[in-house]
């Protein structure tokens, strides 16, 4: 994983040591010897994460962290505070200053690399979300996340632990900001993880009835849980199993005895990461849907029709089944726009699409082609049946006025429809659409408000 790490320490030996360790893991390292220099590097956007020593002359690490988090340009930059003071008060002060995590000197290699990788992944998710939110804002869309999600609060956490004292300690630490479900049976925990909408699983590697790593492996192997963050609790002398867990894909770990402030920080990071990942997947799905969907009517658009129609033709030819196409055009639509305005025209298009969706089958493909022109592709439908469907649609559109704002009695709207059907194995989507268009033009020439089928 490549990322730029800013190491801030006034002791050159500490800086060189951390630089050597991080460079060995293929991170790019930049350094600063004091607080003001570090703030300048952050403001220039020259780092992805900050490793910040607490005890520095002039401006200490707490003040540097506060200033990083107070600056809108650097507020989401992850900060790991490194201290030789293993006191709860120092960790509380770090949390109050906005620190994302803690490391205590001397810093172990596993802890260093795990914390840095975890927060770098979170930083990348944050950057992607912020970029998408800015783009959505430019398009007039609200893609902002709520404050609780950004803070990593209000998460649903599944705790898999069989030691009552640890369960009680974790409950008391997290209960004010998260919902905690406890499970002592590992097999039942796997079912709950798959069925529940959890933001994080905390798994003890010291379970009596099963190897905790096996449960982690099972969580990673199931489709419904493979993206669920896993935070393991491990004994101080169990590094070999911890390394195996990291290879299996666990996201982070806590050493026994569990420090409450570390627990809060690690849980917050993983809950934020899960929510950011979920939001990005939702955004990706939304982007894909927007690319193939007409924004006004909610029907598929021309791009989707062109790709999907080719598939429908291939399937029909391979199976020896019929396929028919209807091209529909709203009559005198320009007159509606000119007389009542484009808002009324949009109302007509939306209502037309609603009636269209209600009149076709689930296997049929309804698309808005352009303007007031629509297409319906109907698998397993021959020419005679397609003509009947077209006539039913024509009657449905003409049978009831379309309600628009400036016309209390509604508008009488009619439609002209052209029908074509697949003409054998040599037929193409382009030819099929062209014949339906020709039939539509014939319907228009013959007075509109009618259905015409053209011979292949």
Which sequence positions are flagged as catalytic?
372
Name, in order, each residue with C-beta under 8 angstroms of 443's C-beta and a sequence gap of 6 or more. 416, 417, 418, 450, 451, 452
CB 82 within 8 A of CB 105: yes
Residue 377, φ and ψ in degrees, nearest 5: -100, 130
Dist CA 244 CA 287 (whole Å): 37
Dist CA 108 CA 3 (whole Å): 20
Dist CA 230 CA 239 (whole Å): 17
Candidates 355, 375, 352, 234; CA nearest to 301 is: 375
Residue spans of beta strands (DSSP E) within 68-207: 79-83, 101-104, 156-160, 179-183, 200-204
Candidates 415, 416, 409; CA nearest to 397 is: 415
Candidates 363, 367, 356, 426; CA nearest to 389 is: 356
Tokens of 98: 């906005």
């Amino acid at each position: 994983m490549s990322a730029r790490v800013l190491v801030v320490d006034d002791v050159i030996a500490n800086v060189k040591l951390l630089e050597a360790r991080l460079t060995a893991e293929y991170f790019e390292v930049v350094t600063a010897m004091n607080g003001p220099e570090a703030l300048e590097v952050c403001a220039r956007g020259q780092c992805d994460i900050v490793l910040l020593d607490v005890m520095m002359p002039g401006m200490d690490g707490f003040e540097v962290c506060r200033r990083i988090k107070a600056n809108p340009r650097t507020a989401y930059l992850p900060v790991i505070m490194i201290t030789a003071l293993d006191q709860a008060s120092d960790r509380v002060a770090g949390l109050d200053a906005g620190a994302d995590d803690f490391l205590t000197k001397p810093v172990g290699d596993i802890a260093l690399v795990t914390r840095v990788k975890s927060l770098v992944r979170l930083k990348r998710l944050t950057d992607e979300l912020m970029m998408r939110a800015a783009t959505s804002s430019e398009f007039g869309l609200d893609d902002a996340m709520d404050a609780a999600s950004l803070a990593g609060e209000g998460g649903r956490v599944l705790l898999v632990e069989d030691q009552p004292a640890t369960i009680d300690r974790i409950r008391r630490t997290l209960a004010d900001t998260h919902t905690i479900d406890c499970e002592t049976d590992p097999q039942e925990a796997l079912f709950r993880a798959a069925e529940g909408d959890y933001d994080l699983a905390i798994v003890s590697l010291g379970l009596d009835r099963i190897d905790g790593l096996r449960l982690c492996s099972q969580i990673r192997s199931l489709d419904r849980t493979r993206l669920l963050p896993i935070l393991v609790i491990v004994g101080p002398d169990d590094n070999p199993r911890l390394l195996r867990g990291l290879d299996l894909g666990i996201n982070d770990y806590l050493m026994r005895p569990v420090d409450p402030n570390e627990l809060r920080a690690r849980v917050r990071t993983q809950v934020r990461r899960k929510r950011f990942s979920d939001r990005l997947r939702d955004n990706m799905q939304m982007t894909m849907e927007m690319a193939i969907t007409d924004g006004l009517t909610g029907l598929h658009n021309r791009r989707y029709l062109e790709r999907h129609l080719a598939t429908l033709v291939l399937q029909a030819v391979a199976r020896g089944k019929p396929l028919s196409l209807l091209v529909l055009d709203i009559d005198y639509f320009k007159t509606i726009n000119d007389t009542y305005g484009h808002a009324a025209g949009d109302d007509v298009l939306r209502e037309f699409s609603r009636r269209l969706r209600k009149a076709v089958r689930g296997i049929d493909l309804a698309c808005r082609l352009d303007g007031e022109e629509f297409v319906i592709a109907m698998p397993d439908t021959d020419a005679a049946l397609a003509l009947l469907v077209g006539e039913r649609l024509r009657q449905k559109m003409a049978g009831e006025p379309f309600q628009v704002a400036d016309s209390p009695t509604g508008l009488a709207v009619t439609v002209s429809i052209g029908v074509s059907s697949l003409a054998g194995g040599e037929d193409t989507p382009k030819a099929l659409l062209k014949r339906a268009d020709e039939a539509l033009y014939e319907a228009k020439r013959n007075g509109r408000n009618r259905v015409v089928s053209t011979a292949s």
